[in-house]
Amino acid sequence: MKRFGLISVPYLWLLALFLVPFLIVLKISLSDTALSIPPYTPTLDLSQGWAGIREWWAGLDMENFTWLTEDDLYWKAYLSSLKIAIISTVLTLMVGYPIAYGMSRAPDEWRPTLMMLIILPFWTSFLIRVYSWKAILSNEGLLNQLLMNLGIIQEPLIILNTNLAVYIGIVYTYLPFMVLPIYSALERLDESLLEAAEDLGCSRFTAFWLVTFPLSRQGIVAGSFLVFIPAMGEFVIPALLGGSKTLMIGKVLWEEFFSNRDWPVASAVAVVLLLLLIIPIVLFQRNEEKQREAEK
Amino acid sequence: MRRLSWFNAVSLTLGFAFLYIPMMILITYSFNAGKLVTVWSGFSTKWYGELFRNEAFLDAAWVTLKVAVMSSSIATVLGTMAAYVMVRAGRFPGRTLFSGMIYAPLVMPEVITGLSLLLLFISIGLDRGVLTIVLAHTTFSMCFVSVVVSSRLVTFDRSLEEAALDLGCTGFEAFRLVTLPIIMPAVVSGWLLAFTLSLDDLVIASFTSGPSSTTLPIKIFSAVRLGVSPEINALSTIMIGLVTIGVIGASLTSKRSIAKRQKDEQEAIK
C-alpha cells in the first residue's frame, strides 16, 4: 500500500503535467482557428454529455497538417532545423572529443579542476552565454576589430545574423553536454588495453582508432543525442544570433503562437516536431538504460 | 605521474579558451564607461548603479528567485521519490511509461513543453502567474533530479537498508536514517540543478507566465533581442559571479566531506 503511494505521487504528477498536456496539444492541432478566447474551435463542452463529445469529435480534422504540407515555409523550416542540428552536432563532437580526451589523459590531480571548468559554464545562464557572442560577432564586434587590426581582413566579416553564428552558438552552449558523457566513457577505459594494442604492433593512432574510439562509442552516442535533440527545437540561439533567413522550427512555432496567435497551427507544428524527434528520443532512452544496466 | 602530451595540452587550452573568453569579454565590458559595448572608453561601475535603480529588473529578479526556490524544492521531493521508484520498486504496471516520462522531458524541446503546459493551464482555467511557472518548472526539473539521484541509488549498498529493517526500523525510518543521509549529496546536487534550471529558463517561463509575473530571463531576452546593452552586461557579471562562488563553494564542501568520510571509514576499519 505504501509502495502504491510512493509510486502514485510522481506518476500522477507526470501524467497530469507531462502526458495530458501533450494530448491537449494533439487535440488542438486537430481543431480550427477562430477569433475567440481561446482562439480555436471546437472546444470540448462536457456539460452537454454525449452530444457535446460527439459535436467536438465531429469538429476535428487534419486541416492544419494539410496546411503544413502545402505552405513550404513549414517543411523548409523542418529541413533547415534538421540540417542545422546535424551540422552543429558534428561540430560539437569535433570540438568536444579532443577536450574530453585531453581531460581523460590529464594527471589525476588536475581532473576535478578540469571537470569543474567544464561544468561551470553549464551552471551559468544559457541566455547570457548566447548573448555574450553578440558583442563578439557583430560587424563592428571584437572579432572583426581583431582581424582588421591584424590586417587579415579589410572588410568586416558578416557573421552575426547568419547560420554560422547559430552554429557557433549551439557548439558553445551545448559543449558540456558532449564533453561530459564522452569523458565518463573515456575515464572508465582500461589503459592496459591500449598497452596491449601497442605491444601487438599498433601505432598510437591505430590504437586510438581501433580501441579507444570504439570503446567511447556510448559516450559519443549519448552526447550527440543530448546536443541534437534540443538543437532541433532550439529557439533562443536562432532568435538572438540568427538572421531573418535562419529558419528553425522552434522559432516558427514561437512566432505562430505569440505573433500570429494561431494556436491550432502552432500545435500542429509541435506535433510534427515531436514525431520527428520520437525516434531519437527513444534511442537516447535505450542508450541510457543500457548504460545503467552496464553500471549495475 | 602522467604527463600531458602536447596534443592534449593544446586541445585543452583551446577548448577552455573557447569556453571562457566570451564570458571574460562580457565581464570586462560591463565595467566600460561608454554606452557602446564594443569600444572601450574607460573603467566605470555606473552600469551597476543603473541596474540597481531599475525597478523592473529588481522585481523580475525577485519573481525568478521565488519561482526557483519553490519549484526546485518540490522537484527535489518528487524527483527523489521518482528515482526511488525507478531503482527500487521493481516491476509495476506502467513502468515503461513512467521511465519514458522521466527521460523524455530531459531532451524535450522547450517550445513543446512550454506550449503544451500553457494549453493545459488555459483549458483548466488556471490564471497564468507565479503558480503556473512553478508547476511548469517543477515538472521538467524533477526529471533531472530523478536522474541525478537514481545514479547515486544504483551504486548504493542495499544491505545497509536491509540491516536497518532487521533492526526494527519501519520502511520510512530506514529511508530517513540510512538511505537519505547516504544519498544526500546527490539530493543536494539535484536541488541545485533544479534551482539553476529554473533561474535560467526563458522559453517555458515565457509560455507559462502572466503579465504580473515576468521573470529575469524574459526581461533579459526582451532587452537583448535587438542589441547589446551595458546594463545586461553588468547583470550577467553579477550572475556569473554568484554561480562561480556557488560552484566553487559546493565543490570544496563536497571534497571536504569525501575526505572526512574516507577518514571515518579508515578509522572504522581500524
Q: What is the pLDDT of residue B211?
A: 82
Q: What is the pLDDT of residue B174?
A: 86
Give me the interface pTM, i.e. the ipTM.
Answer: 0.85
Q: What is the pLDDT of residue B1?
A: 44
Q: pLDDT tens string for chain B (270 positions)?
A: 456 788 889 999 999 999 999 999 999 988 988 877 677 888 888 889 888 898 888 999 999 999 999 999 999 999 999 999 888 877 888 888 898 888 888 878 889 999 999 999 988 888 899 999 999 999 999 999 999 999 888 888 888 888 888 888 888 888 888 888 889 989 998 998 899 899 989 999 999 998 888 999 999 998 888 777 888 889 999 988 988 898 888 878 877 877 877 787 777 766
Q: Specify the range with the lowest mean pLDDT, choosing from A53-57, A128-132, A191-195, B88-92.
A: A53-57
- d(C-alpha A56, C-alpha A266), whole Å: 20
**In chain B, which residue's Cα lies nearest the Cα of A272?**
B112
Distances (CA, A) of B146 to A17, A221, B99, B103, B141: 16, 21, 10, 9, 9
**In chain A, which residue's Cα lies nearest the Cα of B4?**
A106
- d(C-alpha A184, C-alpha A104), whole Å: 8
- d(C-alpha A139, C-alpha A131), whole Å: 15
Distances (CA, A) of A157 to A138, A160, A162, A248, B195: 9, 9, 11, 23, 39
Q: What is the pLDDT of residue A98?
A: 94
CB spacing of B116 vs A21 below 8 angstroms: yes
**In chain A, which residue's Cα lies nearest the Cα of B118?**
A21
Q: Specify the range with the lowest mean pLDDT, choosing from A143-147, A168-172, A267-271, B32-36.
A: B32-36
Q: What is the pLDDT of residue A276?
A: 86
CB-nearest partner of A135 from B11, B38, B206: B38
Question: Which of A3, A12, A18, A232 to mutate against chain B (most B CBs within 10 Å)?
Answer: A18
Q: What is the pLDDT of residue A19?
A: 92
Three cell numbers at A105?
Answer: 589523459
Judging contacts by C-beta atoms under 8 Å, the chain A residues touching residue B95 are none
DSSP A109: G
Are A240 and B225 spatial neighbours (Cβ–Cβ below 8 Å)?
Answer: yes
**What confidence tier does A49 reach under pLDDT thresholds 50, 70, 90?**
low
Q: What is the pLDDT of residue A43?
A: 62
Contact with chain A for residue B92, Cβ under 8 A? yes
Please give the helix or strand (H or E) that residue A33 lies within, else none: strand A32-33
Are A11 and B98 spatial neighbours (Cβ–Cβ below 8 Å)?
Answer: yes
Q: What is the pLDDT of residue A166?
A: 95
Task: Give burial (CB, 10 Å; 0-12/13-18/19+) of B264.
Answer: exposed
**What confidence tier does A149 reach under pLDDT thresholds 50, 70, 90?**
confident
**pTM (global) more than 0.90:** no
Three cell numbers at A244?
Answer: 531573418
Closest by CA position to B180, among listed B84, B69, B75: B84
Three cell numbers at A162?
Answer: 547568419
Three cell numbers at A93?
Answer: 563532437
Question: Which of A2, A6, A15, A175 to mutate against chain B (most B CBs within 10 Å)?
Answer: A6
Over residues A153-167, the mean pLDDT reads 89
Q: What is the pLDDT of residue B69?
A: 96
Bond into A38 cis (ω within 30): yes
The pLDDT tens digits for A230-288 are: 899 899 999 999 888 888 999 989 988 888 888 888 888 899 888 888 888 788 778 77
Judging contacts by C-beta atoms under 8 Å, the chain B residues touching residue A140 are 38
Strand segments (E) across B35-140 = none
Contact with chain A for residue B197, Cβ under 8 A? no
Over residues A66-70, the mean pLDDT reads 77
- d(C-alpha A30, C-alpha A42), whole Å: 10
Strand partners, B32: B43
CB spacing of B115 vs A25 below 8 angstroms: yes
Residue A208 CB: number of other CB atoms within 10 A? 15
Residue A138 CB: number of other CB atoms within 10 A? 21
Over residues A108-134, the mean pLDDT reads 88
Question: How far does A90 lie from chain B, in Å, by closest CA?
Answer: 16
Judging contacts by C-beta atoms under 8 Å, the chain A residues touching residue B11 are 98-99, 101-102
- d(C-alpha A6, C-alpha A11), whole Å: 9
Please give the helix or strand (H or E) that residue A32 lies within, else none: strand A32-33
Q: What is the pLDDT of residue A4?
A: 80
- d(C-alpha B241, C-alpha B190), whole Å: 21
